[in-house]
Structure 1
């Protein structure tokens, strides 16, 4: 963590290798994402065999933080994904923190807007 960047918990992602095709599908990422119906922000991620994503993302759970400056947050880090805009107005990069993927997000969207757009497949991640 960098002292001049504000980090706020956003969600926790858990990769599954159960062979199911449940959730919102992204052909680009070769991934299905489903929200846990519980009270806390947990997502289940399932990957196709053709998924181009980094092996850490497909095998190790990740925590995601909203940051106030994505460029500063990733400066000098081992970036394994992005930065990119998977959902309109939602910028993401994933870093490798000594074998653990950490997702960093910069956005002005509310959580309701973020989750609504993700569930409905709105954004670059879902466009062909």
Structure 2
């Protein structure tokens, strides 16, 4: 963590290798995403055999933090994904923090707007 960046918990992602094909699918990422129906923001991620994502994302749970300055947050870090805009007005990069993927997010979307867009597959991550 950097003193110049404000970090706020956003969600937790858990990769699964159970062979199921359920949830919102991204062909670009080779990934299915399902939101946990509970009170806390947990997502389940399943990957196709040919998913281009970094092996850490496909095998190790990740925590995501909303940051006030994505550029500062990733400066000097080992970036394993992004930065990119998978959903309109939702900028993301994933860093490798000693073997743990950490997702960093910068957005002006409310959580309701963001989760609504993600659940309905809105954004460049879901366009072919």
**TM-score tier after normalising by the smaller chain length:** over 0.9
Q: Paired residue for 2:67?
A: 67
What is the TM-score with the length of structure 2 in the denominator? 1.00
Q: Paired residue for 2:44?
A: 44
Q: CA RMSD in A?
A: 0.2
Q: Give the Cα separation in 2 of the matches to 1:78 and 1:114.
A: 26
Structure 1 residue 33 corresponds to structure 2 residue 33: yes
The superposition leaves residues 48-84 of structure 1 with CA deviations (integer Å, 9 ceiling, x where unpaired) of: 0010000000000000000000000000000000000
1:27 to partner: Cα distance: 0.2
Q: Paired residue for 2:56?
A: 56
In structure 1, stretches of 5+ residues that fail to align are none
Q: Paired residue for 1:83?
A: 83
Secondary structure at 1:19 match in 2: coil
Q: Paired residue for 1:14?
A: 14
In structure 2, stretches of 5+ residues that fail to align are none
